[in-house]
Amino acid sequence: MRLGEEGGAEMTVSEVVDEVLCPEGAPRDGVTILGGEPFLQPEGLLALVTALKACDQHITLYSGYTLEEIHSLPNPHTVSILDLTDILIDGPFVKELSDNAGEWLGSTNQRSSTTLPK
Protein backbone atom coordinates (compact mmCIF):
# COMPACT_ATOMS: atom_id res chain seq x y z
CA MET A 1 0.00 0.00 0.00
CA ARG A 2 1.24 3.47 -0.93
CA LEU A 3 -0.11 6.87 0.08
CA GLY A 4 -1.66 8.65 -2.87
CA GLU A 5 -0.69 12.17 -3.88
CA GLU A 6 -4.23 13.44 -3.25
CA GLY A 7 -4.78 11.51 -0.01
CA GLY A 8 -6.05 8.00 0.47
CA ALA A 9 -3.98 4.98 -0.31
CA GLU A 10 -3.09 3.29 -3.57
CA MET A 11 -3.49 -0.47 -3.35
CA THR A 12 -3.18 -3.34 -5.77
CA VAL A 13 -6.21 -5.52 -6.37
CA SER A 14 -4.59 -8.37 -4.46
CA GLU A 15 -3.98 -6.03 -1.48
CA VAL A 16 -7.64 -4.99 -1.54
CA VAL A 17 -8.81 -8.61 -1.70
CA ASP A 18 -6.49 -9.57 1.17
CA GLU A 19 -7.86 -6.71 3.30
CA VAL A 20 -11.50 -7.38 2.44
CA LEU A 21 -11.25 -11.13 3.01
CA CYS A 22 -9.07 -11.02 6.12
CA PRO A 23 -9.93 -13.77 8.63
CA GLU A 24 -11.10 -11.25 11.24
CA GLY A 25 -14.27 -10.62 9.20
CA ALA A 26 -15.15 -14.28 8.70
CA PRO A 27 -17.56 -15.72 8.07
CA ARG A 28 -18.78 -13.67 5.13
CA ASP A 29 -20.49 -14.58 1.92
CA GLY A 30 -20.34 -11.34 0.01
CA VAL A 31 -18.75 -8.01 -0.71
CA THR A 32 -20.39 -4.69 -1.50
CA ILE A 33 -18.54 -2.31 -3.82
CA LEU A 34 -19.48 1.38 -3.70
CA GLY A 35 -18.08 4.82 -3.18
CA GLY A 36 -16.95 7.15 -5.85
CA GLU A 37 -17.99 5.53 -9.11
CA PRO A 38 -16.71 1.97 -9.56
CA PHE A 39 -17.20 2.05 -13.36
CA LEU A 40 -14.70 4.92 -13.67
CA GLN A 41 -11.99 2.30 -13.05
CA PRO A 42 -13.29 -0.55 -15.24
CA GLU A 43 -10.04 -2.49 -15.53
CA GLY A 44 -9.47 -2.47 -11.78
CA LEU A 45 -13.14 -3.19 -11.09
CA LEU A 46 -13.08 -6.20 -13.40
CA ALA A 47 -9.90 -7.50 -11.74
CA LEU A 48 -11.46 -7.01 -8.30
CA VAL A 49 -14.79 -8.72 -9.01
CA THR A 50 -12.96 -11.55 -10.80
CA ALA A 51 -10.70 -12.09 -7.79
CA LEU A 52 -13.62 -11.94 -5.35
CA LYS A 53 -15.68 -14.41 -7.40
CA ALA A 54 -12.69 -16.77 -7.40
CA CYS A 55 -13.07 -16.70 -3.59
CA ASP A 56 -16.80 -17.57 -3.86
CA GLN A 57 -17.99 -14.11 -2.84
CA HIS A 58 -21.43 -12.69 -3.65
CA ILE A 59 -20.99 -9.25 -5.29
CA THR A 60 -23.29 -6.29 -4.72
CA LEU A 61 -22.28 -3.27 -6.77
CA TYR A 62 -23.60 0.29 -6.36
CA SER A 63 -23.28 2.67 -9.31
CA GLY A 64 -24.44 6.22 -9.82
CA TYR A 65 -24.95 5.30 -13.46
CA THR A 66 -28.17 3.64 -14.58
CA LEU A 67 -27.86 0.21 -16.18
CA GLU A 68 -28.60 1.81 -19.54
CA GLU A 69 -25.75 4.31 -19.01
CA ILE A 70 -23.41 1.49 -17.98
CA HIS A 71 -24.18 -0.33 -21.23
CA SER A 72 -23.37 2.82 -23.19
CA LEU A 73 -19.96 3.32 -21.58
CA PRO A 74 -17.16 3.00 -24.14
CA ASN A 75 -15.41 0.19 -22.33
CA PRO A 76 -15.34 -3.49 -23.25
CA HIS A 77 -15.13 -4.59 -19.59
CA THR A 78 -18.62 -3.51 -18.55
CA VAL A 79 -20.38 -6.66 -19.80
CA SER A 80 -17.87 -8.88 -17.97
CA ILE A 81 -18.28 -6.84 -14.78
CA LEU A 82 -22.06 -7.17 -14.97
CA ASP A 83 -21.73 -10.92 -15.64
CA LEU A 84 -19.86 -11.27 -12.33
CA THR A 85 -22.22 -8.97 -10.36
CA ASP A 86 -24.99 -10.63 -8.35
CA ILE A 87 -26.88 -7.45 -7.42
CA LEU A 88 -26.59 -4.06 -9.08
CA ILE A 89 -28.01 -0.98 -7.38
CA ASP A 90 -28.07 1.63 -10.13
CA GLY A 91 -28.86 5.32 -10.41
CA PRO A 92 -27.62 8.42 -8.64
CA PHE A 93 -28.47 9.09 -5.02
CA VAL A 94 -30.98 11.96 -4.79
CA LYS A 95 -31.37 13.28 -1.24
CA GLU A 96 -34.87 14.62 -1.92
CA LEU A 97 -35.96 11.07 -2.84
CA SER A 98 -34.41 9.32 0.16
CA ASP A 99 -37.57 8.94 2.28
CA ASN A 100 -39.04 5.42 2.08
CA ALA A 101 -36.40 4.29 -0.39
CA GLY A 102 -36.22 0.78 1.01
CA GLU A 103 -33.67 -1.34 2.76
CA TRP A 104 -30.85 -1.29 0.17
CA LEU A 105 -31.67 1.78 -1.90
CA GLY A 106 -30.52 5.25 -0.95
CA SER A 107 -33.26 7.02 -2.89
CA THR A 108 -36.43 5.95 -4.67
CA ASN A 109 -35.03 6.59 -8.16
CA GLN A 110 -32.47 3.81 -7.69
CA ARG A 111 -33.14 0.24 -8.84
CA SER A 112 -32.01 -3.12 -7.54
CA SER A 113 -31.36 -5.71 -10.24
CA THR A 114 -30.43 -9.34 -9.80
CA THR A 115 -30.95 -10.40 -13.41
CA LEU A 116 -28.79 -8.12 -15.46
CA PRO A 117 -29.56 -7.87 -19.18
CA LYS A 118 -26.55 -8.12 -21.42
pLDDT 10s digits, 29-49: 899 999 889 999 999 999 999
pLDDT 10s digits, 57-96: 999 999 999 999 999 999 999 999 999 999 999 999 989 9
Q: What is the pTM of this model?
A: 0.85
Helices first, then strands: H and E counts in the chain: 4, 6
Dihedral, 112, 78, 58, 56 alpha carbons, nearest 10: 170
- Residue ranges of the domains in the chain? 27-113
CA proximity to 30, closest of 48, 51, 53, 47: 53
